[in-house]
Structure formats: C-alpha cells, structure tokens
C-alpha cells in the first residue's frame, strides 16, 4: 500500500510490506528502487510501493454535479472537484492527458493535505458546494488520499464522489466504499481486446469493480452511474451497446443504473478520428433504453 510524502499532514493507517508488488491493479508493478510504476503515481521507496502523488493536486474547480457526469445524484448542485496526476490506463483518446499521462516532474502541483481540502470544501458551501469529487486524472492510483480525505469529509457532513476507470482491486474498493457517496465509472467497451490492446488495461477487473459498486447501490450505500465514450469504428455498434446494456441490466438493481453514452472528440494520440456523429449517440441511446431505464446522451 502506500504512505504520503513526509511534508503532508496525516499518515495513512497502513503501508505495504517490503518487497511486495503494488496492490492497486492487475499489473502488480514491482519497479526498481526509486522508480515509478506504470501509473507514474506510485514509486518503489525503501523496498515498498509508496504513494508518490499523495495530496499533490494539479486541478481544482467548483463544478456542476452534472459535469461528473451524475444525472441522478443531487441534480442542480455543485461539487469541489480535484485531481492529481497519473493513471492506470493508457487511453489514446484521453481527454485529460496533460495530467493523466504526467509524472511528478511533468506538471505543477500544490500540496493539499486532506484536512486542508476539507476546509476548502466547507468554505465553498456558500456557493452551493455539497462535497468533494475526486476526478480529472485517475483517483484510484492515489486511493489512500481519497480514503483519508473522504473520511474527514464525512465527519464534516460533506458528500463524496469518485469519478474513475474502475480498474483496481477489491481490496482498494473495500477501503474506499464506506466513505464514497456516489461513483461514475467508465465502461469504455465490452471487448476485452479493446481494453488490452488499446488501453493497456483489464476489462475483467473493471467489471468486478462495477459489480461491487452495483451491490453497494442496491443496498442503498452508494449511488452509481456509468459512462461509455463512443469512438467511431471502435465501439459504436448496436451489438456492442446491447451487450453493455444487457450486462448492466443483469447487475443488482441494474436496470436503474444510469448510463451516459458520450460523444468522442479527437484528442491526444487519436487525432485521426472524427468526432462521433450526434446521430450515432442518439441511436445508441435508443438501443440501451431497450434494457435500461435511465440513459443519457453526453457531449452532444
């Protein structure tokens, strides 16, 4: 597991054992001493995988809750949204590549310990803020900061939101679940090869995370919404959308899990693709509505 930089306030209540690989995702990175793992946010230090980006924020904004996107969780409210750097995937179409593809020396950061961030969120209540959203880069690569901050946020009466690719272990899920009120998780495709070849990820791990979150939602513990970004020629068929919607519908409470079907725009290393036609998004929304109650067109 991981510890924060010595300059931050507060200490996580667990650290990884010397010599063990990183426990966050399926890669189980074990880099050389002093080197970073795949995500560029976790480092081997003294034989332990440590959290290199703990409290190191690259972005902070008071956003509409709908921007997360969350359509059925406190609509009309605002939430203090924060991000760090690093990601566990390598999406060539990344919308936040300036921080998700960054390491500690590639981007400017500000050290904001959990208690300070909660204090900032409380000051924004006068502007309609309901809590803190962990977003922009992949929050799970620095999950200890999410856990520590979310725990303090709950103690202060604030709500917490996780916007994630969902590619992390059940151990990480269990650490975070008691302190997260809502999640939006990306289900980028239903093709294992799409995840493995294009994203350098693991669809099975993402599906496990989503299923665990659906179980939490069915038990009334955490609100869940999902997002699928539609890329022309990659994941835009009716057949794949039926597979996605059918799988979601089969989860606990699945037919009531909102799905956002979002339009792709050329970004990062996928500039050769054209933006997804609006008609494609509306067509896939109709397909998903065959099995799901709440389906939303995004970026249209």
Domain residue ranges in the chain: 54-298
Residue with more model confidence, 77 or 13: 77
Mean pLDDT value of segment 204-225: 98
Mean pLDDT value of segment 58-74: 97
pTM for the whole structure: 0.93
Residue 1 has pLDDT above 50, yes or no: no
Mean pLDDT value of segment 215-223: 97
> Poorest-confidence range of 15-29, 66-80, 106-120?
15-29
- Round the average pLDDT of the chain to a whole number and report it: 93
Per-residue pLDDT at 17: 57
Per-residue pLDDT at 20: 80
Contact 239, 204 (CB under 8 A): no
Contact 100, 199 (CB under 8 A): no
**Residue range 140-177, pLDDT digits in tens:** 999 999 999 999 999 999 999 999 999 999 999 999 99
Per-residue pLDDT at 11: 40
Mean pLDDT value of segment 106-123: 97
Mention the CATH class of domain 54-298. Answer: alpha beta
Paired sense of beta strands 78-83 and 59-64, if any: antiparallel
Using the structure block, give the residue that is written with the tokens 């890669």. 27
**Residue range 3-21, pLDDT digits in tens:** 333 333 334 444 445 568 9
């Amino acid at each position: 597991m991981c510890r924060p930089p010595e300059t931050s306030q507060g200490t996580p209540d667990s650290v990884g054992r010397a010599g063990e690989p990183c426990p966050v995702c399926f890669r189980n990175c074990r880099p050389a001493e002093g080197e970073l793992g795949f995500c560029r946010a976790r480092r081997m230090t003294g034989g332990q995988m440590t959290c290199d980006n703990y409290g190191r924020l690259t972005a902070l904004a008071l956003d509409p809750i709908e921007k997360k996107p969350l359509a059925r969780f406190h609509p009309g409210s605002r939430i203090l949204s924060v991000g760090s750097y690093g990601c566990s995937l390598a999406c060539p179409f990344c919308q936040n590549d300036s921080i998700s593809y960054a390491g500690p020396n590639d981007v400017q950061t500000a050290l904001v310990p959990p208690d300070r961030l909660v204090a900032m969120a409380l000051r924004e209540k006068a502007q309609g803020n309901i809590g803190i959203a962990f977003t922009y880069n992949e929050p799970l690569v620095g999950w200890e900061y999410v856990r520590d901050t979310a725990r303090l946020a709950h103690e202060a009466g604030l709500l917490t939101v996780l916007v994630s690719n969902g590619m992390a272990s059940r151990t990480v899920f269990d650490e975070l679940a008691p302190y997260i009120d809502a999640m939006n998780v990306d289900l980028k495709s239903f093709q294992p090869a799409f995840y493995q070849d294009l994203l350098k990820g693991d669809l099975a791990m993402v599906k496990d995370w989503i299923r665990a979150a659906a179980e939490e939602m069915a038990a009334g513990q955490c609100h869940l919404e999902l997002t699928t970004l539609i890329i022309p020629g990659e994941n835009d068929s009716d057949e794949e959308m039926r597979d996605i919607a059918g799988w979601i519908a089969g989860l606990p409470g699945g037919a009531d899990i909102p799905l956002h079907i979002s339009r792709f725009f050329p970004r990062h290393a996928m500039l050769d693709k054209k933006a997804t036609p609006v008609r494609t998004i509306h067509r896939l929304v109709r397909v998903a509505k065959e099995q799901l109650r709440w389906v939303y067109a995004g970026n249209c």
